Structure 1
Amino acid sequence: MIYKELGDTGKKISAVTLGSWGIGGAGWGDVDEEESVAAIAEMLEGGVNAIDTAPVYGFVNPKAEDFGYGFAEKIIGEALLGKRHQIFIATKCGLNYDREKGPASMYKSMTKEEIISGCEGSLRRLQTDYIDLLFVHWPDNKTPLEEVAEAMDTLMSQGKILHYGLSNFTAEDTAKLDDMLHVSAVQLPYSMVDRGSEELMIAAKKRGIGTMTYGSLGSGILTGAFRTKPEFAKTDMRSSFYHFFEEPMFGNIQKLLRVMDEVAKAHDALVSQVAIQWSVKKAFVDTAILGVSKPKHARQNCGAFDWEMTEEEMAMLDEAIRRYVESTE
């Protein structure tokens, strides 16, 4: 495993962060709780020292309370008992739903009340007395940014969070909030098939803001597992959240995969490991969030750094991305 400084936080975290959206089970098919705990253990054994989660990861899982709200956080809290201080935990706030209407009523809110109550709920589920990094999950485009800064300042002064960050915010709002109260990290989508956040991350790094990326494997398409167009269940997140499985994008990604196959073969590596290493070798990426719910995938993710891609191979992949992927966007 390799480690990078997360912005100017003074924290060195693994270049891979364990993601828990899939662990929660929401929109990813059936998830086995025991396997999820084993996958977490496998990632930690492989050198991962950072975990990303959110209250809404698992909001439809019937095993948990309140419509399954916070199921992923509960699994993580149990898995980290006795190990908490070895792990950097990032979670989120500001995405919620009406308890009487259920998960279909999800809404965004980054008011001071929502941020503070959301943080306190996460502390309980994670079984910890502090959170290393609390993100606002999505901007709500109505709450004054000053209120967000005030809420985060309150939580930091109380010792409930050590740092705060912004997930899916614009460059403009990130800069405004950073001027009010320093933003420690941003979280944005980034992968070989989605490079839209590059400029924002470069700007963030200039301000000393750390960068965490999600979607590094393109919802699985960059693992090479989907060589023919799949048919996902309507409830599966991949059927609606991503456009990688729609034509003409799907066909062009197959051309990119053939170039990735060449690199993987040269190093006796997996295609997924090529995608992971390509992402974290970018100077503006501090850590890539990778979702796992199975021990096998955890081992594969950690193995992405058992070899090193050459600069020539990086350039070859960048050219393939420009030719096949960006030409269809």
Structure 2
Amino acid sequence: MPGTTNVNLLFTTLPGTDLSVSRVCLGTWQFNGGQADITWSGQEEKLSKAIVDKALETGVNFFDTAEAYKNSEVVLGKALEGRRQNAVIASKFGQNHPEGKVEYSAMDIENALTQSLTKLNTTYIDLYQVHWPICVANMEETVQQLKLEQSRGRILHYGYCNFGVENMKAFQLAGGKPVTTQMPYNLLWRAIEHSTLPLIRENNLSVLAYSALQQGLLTGKFHNAQEVPEGRRRTRLFNSQSTTLAKHGQPGMETETFQAIGEIRKISEELGESMSTVALSWLLAQKNVESVIVGCSSVQQVGENCRVVPLKPAIIERLNSATDQVKNLLGDNADLWAAESRMK
């Protein structure tokens, strides 16, 4: 369409780094080597590689993984074999300690990084992140270890994920100089706009927005809660009674969520664009959002989930209005799954 932009033309250099990354990042939580988890069904390694092939062909050079994602680092490492130099890899430590520990000491971080490097078949990770604040045993020790690994060349830059206002301030007081913050952010999940995003902007951090399509809700595929796979009904958008997998114990906001989805669908149809395109384009129009993280369950979805277009201010305002009620119901708690936020 005239005036559209494809992701292979959209790159940004993350402020404070020399990392030139695509503004759409491929999330690899689904790269599980065929072993389903609580959220995603099994994805065979062959398909994951084909998705990476298509992503690189499309222009995506940014890949996000984590120690905690089942088999993801191994599968991504194999998929990038022989072309590591063409990729920017972000990974995270936490929530997968062999002894079941939640809080990581400096030695735990060092060991986790060593394991990640081995799994990814690389000598360095471009962006290494603390997965959750609950993974931190001691903030100063964590910051010192990240700086040490940076001096060793095993990581190039560091950031954090799921950090709330108090966590961010504590990290800064400990001497940390993160370049990115990874947060759940999309049209249906705007909780960070209340208090976290203003501080992020004050500190000029780059936002990596995960669940950019709200686990498929913003693709337009689902028309009611019953159509959504049970593992994806664990979030606070849904009534906790709809699945035994939910832990938040709240009534959710299903009516308001699907009303908002209906309005986004209407706006998208008026524009002649898919809901995915409109949702990602809205997100990339937000200040400090440098890259959006999307997952793919098929090769076809790579193209569908990586297309962005410029949106007029009036359209952005209509999208804001369509989702304001859900934003207000969510309140300041940006945690997707917990009634008491783990993002302090």
TM-score by length of 2: 0.83
Distance, in Å, in 2 between the alignment partners of 1:77 and 1:122 is 10
> Per-residue displacement from partner, 1:49-103 (whole Å, max 9, x unpaired)?
1110012211xxxxxxxxxxxx11111111111221121100011222446xxxx
Q: List aligned pairs for 1:1-329, cutoff 5 A.
A: 1=7, 2-24=10-32, 25-27=36-38, 28-58=40-70, 71-98=71-98, 107-140=101-134, 143-179=137-173, 180-198=175-193, 199-230=195-226, 237-240=231-234, 242-246=235-239, 249-303=253-307, 305=308, 307-322=309-324, 324-329=325-330
Distance, in Å, in 1 between the alignment partners of 2:329 and 2:163 is 25
Aligned partner of 1:66 in structure 2 is none
> Per-residue displacement from partner, 1:161-187 (whole Å, max 9, x unpaired)?
001111112223323323403112111
* Residue identity opposite 2:213 in structure 1: L
* Residue identity opposite 2:217 in structure 1: I
> Per-residue displacement from partner, 1:272-326 (whole Å, max 9, x unpaired)?
21111111110121111111131111110122x2x3221111001111111x413
Between the two proteins, the alignment pairs up a number of residues equal to: 305
Q: Tell me by how many angstroms 1:229 deviates.
A: 2.0
Instruction: Check whether the contact 1:201–1:285 (CA below 8 A) recurs between aligned residues.
Output: no
Distance, in Å, in 2 between the alignment partners of 1:85 and 1:55 is 21
- The share of aligned pairs that are identical, in percent, is 28
Distance, in Å, in 2 between the alignment partners of 1:230 and 1:20 is 26
Distance, in Å, in 2 between the alignment partners of 1:177 and 1:256 is 36
Q: Tell me by how many angstroms 1:204 deviates.
A: 2.4
* Residue identity opposite 1:26 in structure 2: D
Q: Tell me by how many angstroms 1:248 deviates.
A: 5.5
* Residue identity opposite 1:109 in structure 2: E
The secondary structure found in structure 1 opposite 2:191 is: coil
Distance, in Å, in 2 between the alignment partners of 1:282 and 1:201 is 10
Gaps of 5+ in 2: 1-6, 240-250, 331-344
Q: Which moved more, 1:242-251 or 1:268-277?
A: 242-251
Q: CA RMSD in A?
A: 2.0
Q: Tell me by how many angstroms 1:142 deviates.
A: 6.3
Aligned partner of 2:242 in structure 1 is none
The secondary structure found in structure 2 opposite 1:133 is: strand
TM-score by length of 1: 0.86
Distance, in Å, in 1 between the alignment partners of 2:102 and 2:315 is 41
Instruction: Check whether the contact 2:24–2:294 (CA below 8 A) recurs between aligned residues.
Output: yes
Distance, in Å, in 2 between the alignment partners of 1:117 and 1:223 is 38
Distance, in Å, in 2 between the alignment partners of 1:206 and 1:248 is 32
* Residue identity opposite 2:113 in structure 1: C
The secondary structure found in structure 2 opposite 1:197 is: helix
The 1:141–1:96 alpha-carbon spacing in structure 2 relative to 1, beyond 3 Å, is closer
The secondary structure found in structure 2 opposite 1:230 is: helix
* Residue identity opposite 2:222 in structure 1: F
